[in-house]
Amino acid sequence: MFRTHVHYLVLLAASSVAIAALFDLSQLQWTLKNQNGSIQIPASGPPSQAHLDLLAAGIITEPLLGINDFTERWVVEENWTYTADLTPFTNLLKSKNPQSTLLLFYGIDTIANITFRGHPIAWVNNQFQQYTFDVSNIVSSPKTKDNNLTVAFESAWFYGLNVTARPDAEFFPGGSGVRTSDNFEYPGVRQWIRKVASDFGWDWGPAFVPSGIYKPAYLVTLSGSQNNGSSHTSTPPISPDGPSSDDSVTGSVFVNELSVDIYKAGQSFAVPPSQTADWVVNVTLALRSATPLSSSTLTLSFPELNLTSKPFHFPNIPVAMKDSFWIGTTWTIPDTIPQRWYPHNLGTPKLYNLTVDLRRSGGGHAAGNLLSFTTTTGFRTIELIQSPYTQEDVEQRGITPGDNWHFEINGKAFYSLGTNIIPFDPFYARTTTDQVRWVLESAVRSGQNMLRIWGGGTYQPSDSSVAGGVYDFYSICDELGILAWSELIFSDSLYPINDFLLESIEPEVRQNVRRVNRHPSNVQWAGGNEIEGIITAANQSLANGTHYLNEYVTLFQDFLQGIVASETRSVPYTDCSTTKGVLSLDPYVLRFDNGTAGEIYGNGERYNYDASQAFNYSTFPVTRFMNEFGFHSMPSFYSWEEVLTSPEDFSFNSTVVMSRDHHPPAGSLTFPNQNAPQGQFQMTAAVEMWLPTPSTTDTNQTFAQWCWSTQIFHTMTMVSQVAWYRHGAGQGENNLGALVWQLNDIWQGVSWSSIEYSGRWKVLHYGLTGVFSPVAIYPFWTPENETFQALVISDRWEEVQGSAQLTWYDWLGTPLNTTTHDFTVPTLNNSLVFGATGLDSLLPQGKNASDVWLLLNLTAEVNNRTITNEQYFTPVSLAEATLVDPRIEVARREDLSFTLSAKGGVAPWTWIDHPAGTIGIFVDNTTGLPSNGFYLIPGMDRTLNFVLNPALSRIATPNPDQFVVRSLWNNTHL
């Protein structure tokens, strides 16, 4: 049986038999076949991708299992065709008058020919575009023998090879410090294809190069009737929430796109907002209309504010089926009326409902509503400050000369604390809102206020019902109060300046900027990821480097900036994630390396895989903002259980485990990655240098301890870096941003993430919860001159006062001495609470460095609540520390609370693991904050409560006995 799924946009008055509706193409019967027809299977409707339908049919096994990223490469090399029988749709129209019909695809991945009832419709080549085609004439023509919808995909890999083989294809150099896309599995083609860059491989994920109709698709029928009535529309760009309850509405108009841009009067790309100026609400609609409308009015309202605009008049809306007809208006609202939206750590993320009503003007029979919908938005200003520091800043505040590079929310500078987002799954079509919400909520729980949406992935959706989003993203960011740094999809490559590419990019960028405009969480559009550094290296190292520099300027300075600036006034544009900033905003001119020696410009990133330098602050960048920095680690033993299929695979350097280490990338389709030993060695050397080397008589425990120990080092080095950049807010660089690479995982493998693919928190995520605290304490030790500083760091807008305590212990847990220090930290600054020079003067008298460690904690009052924070300092590597058996005892309760007690000695990095099939976090019973991976001290028990996420957990009632406790002692002891 075929089910017809119709969302009624508008139901006409009883005097008319015409209807206007959305017909969901997922309700058709679909088939999938390969080019020679040897595979022909039933397929699910959009959204789907070939791998997912082959999996459902049993042709392949789960792509993330074992080495399927290698054995299933044949799927990449096939041309796949999706075909659907249109009979349920055409039968629906038999008794109706001829309709105007649109064929609507919210996302096609990527190279495809579309045929409708035997008629060629289009060839498409851009994954990130929304496509709308007028098929009215084909629908109204007599039934043909071919009553199918066919989408025939070409292998993106072979398409890329064909394009780059053309004699007019531009050559992009590698080597000489010029990094290009050639270093991933499917090399050298992705810069020619408007497709998720990491689909072709990256150093943290697989290369499946998927294809399919990966977002929802519809047939939209519009009436030519001009009958009177009222309407409530539920169009996909707004909210396809089902049929209207109003049976007297007209259906001649469809909203193809929506943009809501809220900014300050007078604000533009080059003119900063005046905080006291009126708000401007700029609403624009892309309409598809089946009938001309001689006169109509648009009215806007915010019900919560009791605000309604005057009617805005439009004298003529023509028939618009082939292309959209744009209407728009601006509505001015006094500054003081709405409450402003803030990120969660700085205020309230206040949202408002905006209602849009389009009515046919005039009286009598011709009057009536054409459409009405409500969407959410918010009021805020966000600025990227890139102006030069003043002489007063230099002389009175001690700022190093150069340019600002930081964000301001509602006119106030703040510290950006956060991470970087990659795609949530290799197959977009199966990503769920539950999965994404957990990751975003986890970011908020750890104290983050900004996420960077990496430019090698995809444009994140607004929510599942807007523009075929599949899952929610920006809407959750709006709700939770977490800022989203957005990027256009360009990454780590030189890009060609080619007419057919630019023609495809322009609508892609416009559509996505318009869609995201309404979200107050969005903070900027960056042109791409890491490309400015690549082009700078090319310009310096290649004889014809100026040619590539000029191409970069054309694309990222002129072309893309012009598009973004023409579509939004509310957020800034910058050319690249990592950049030296600008020489001028008007005209927009990039700085590149045109700076004065000794001055600081732009932002930075850091990747140093020499573990001996992990805590050497002299190797850390001094920069205004750090937008990327990281180290890699293994996923947990439980994550490996999800994908390893043989007992012999459960080993740190087993073939399958190493095949999932793509760092450094293979640079070819060689399997397994011949460069993986380098990445494995980096993790191994780090563990052996800084932690006891895992080695027990139980091979599974040893493997589990290796995985966990890589995460311990991962945490130690990343927390150290975050603390360093945060303390820069009180130094000459005035650092106001630290975004860790990376937040989420795309599969179960070696990566830089703080959250595993399943949603399980790594040790790092708990570590970030500590170092991202509004007020944090950290020990800075510089071995070269043996200086020690204990600093309290604050990101608060107000002065913070509190008390810090420094206590030395031996490894038996005996307190040796304690000092208490009151502190006052100015706005966005830090305060020295203790300093010493020389290790001997720092250590407790008569104690060896290997026998002692220092606990640092603080208490402060912030916004009428008590903040606590703790960190640890060991004067030697934990590999050299004289650890003793902590003899941890655990009291387990049915309510999933656990009390941990150390009966023998101190247990550094005590960790409790929740069992396979469960997702959740551990929360400290006293502070209510996420807590795990701490120093457990005899006499200082810790009680943790496990908070289960039922939406993601396969096990609803976990057994407390299956929770595993470990510490560094278990690296070498059962």
* Cα-based angle 83, 88, 94 (whole degrees, multiple of 5): 130
Give the C-alpha separation, 126 to 116, whole Å. 19
Give the C-alpha separation, 927 to 929, whole Å. 5
DSSP, collapsed to helix, strand or coil, labels residue 801 as strand
Give the C-alpha separation, 478 to 379, whole Å. 11
Name every residue whose Cβ is closer than 8 Å to that of residue 499 and which is 6 or more positions away in sequence: none
Among left, alpha and beta (phi > 0; psi -120 to 50; other), residue 545 is alpha
DSSP 56-115: HTTSS--TTSTTHHHHTHHHHTS--EEEEE-HHHHHHHTTS---EEEEEES--BS-EEEE
Cβ–Cβ < 8 Å for 514, 328? no
Residue from 216, 622, 241, 259 nearest 428 by CA: 216
Q: For the chain, what's the residue count?
A: 974
Residue whose structure tokens are 């989003």? 469
Give the C-alpha separation, 625 to 603, whole Å. 5
Q: Which residues pair with 123 in a beta bridge?
A: 113
Catalytic residue among 257, 487, 530, 756: 530
Name every residue whose Cβ is closer than 8 Å to that of residue 933 and which is 6 or more positions away in sequence: 712, 715, 763, 766, 767, 909, 910, 911
Question: Which DSSP category does 809 fall into?
Answer: E
Cβ–Cβ < 8 Å for 788, 835? yes
Question: Which DSSP category does 553 fall into?
Answer: I
Cβ–Cβ < 8 Å for 883, 971? no
Residue from 268, 214, 756, 158 nearest 459 by CA: 214
Residue 152 burial (10 A CB sphere; 0-12, 13-18, 19+): middle
Name every residue whose Cβ is closer than 8 Å to that of residue 425 and which is 6 or more positions away in sequence: 431, 435, 746
Cβ–Cβ < 8 Å for 251, 478? no
Q: How far is CA 614 from the centre of its chain?
A: 26
- Strands 352-360 vs 296-302: parallel, antiparallel or unpaired: antiparallel
Q: How far is CA 481 from the centre of its chain?
A: 14
The torsion angles phi and psi of 677, rounded to 5 degrees, stand at -55, -30
Residue from 422, 434, 443 nearest 953 by CA: 434
Helix axes 763-771, 699-727, angle to 10 degrees: 20
Q: Is 392 a catalytic residue?
A: no
- Strands 100-105 vs 131-134: parallel, antiparallel or unpaired: antiparallel
Cβ–Cβ < 8 Å for 573, 581? no
Q: How far is CA 303 from the centre of its chain?
A: 32
Alpha-carbon distances, residue 879 vs 121, 512, 696 (angstroms) = 66, 50, 16
Q: Is the peptide bond before 206 cis (omega within 30 degrees of 0)?
A: no
Residue 624: what residue type? R
Residue 886: what residue type? P
Residue from 84, 51, 53 nearest 68 by CA: 51
DSSP, collapsed to helix, strand or coil, labels residue 280 as strand
Which helix (DSSP H) or strand (DSSP E) does residue 922 occupy? strand 920-924
DSSP, collapsed to helix, strand or coil, labels residue 381 as coil
Which helix (DSSP H) or strand (DSSP E) does residue 333 occupy? strand 320-333
Could you give the residue numbers annotated as active site?
530
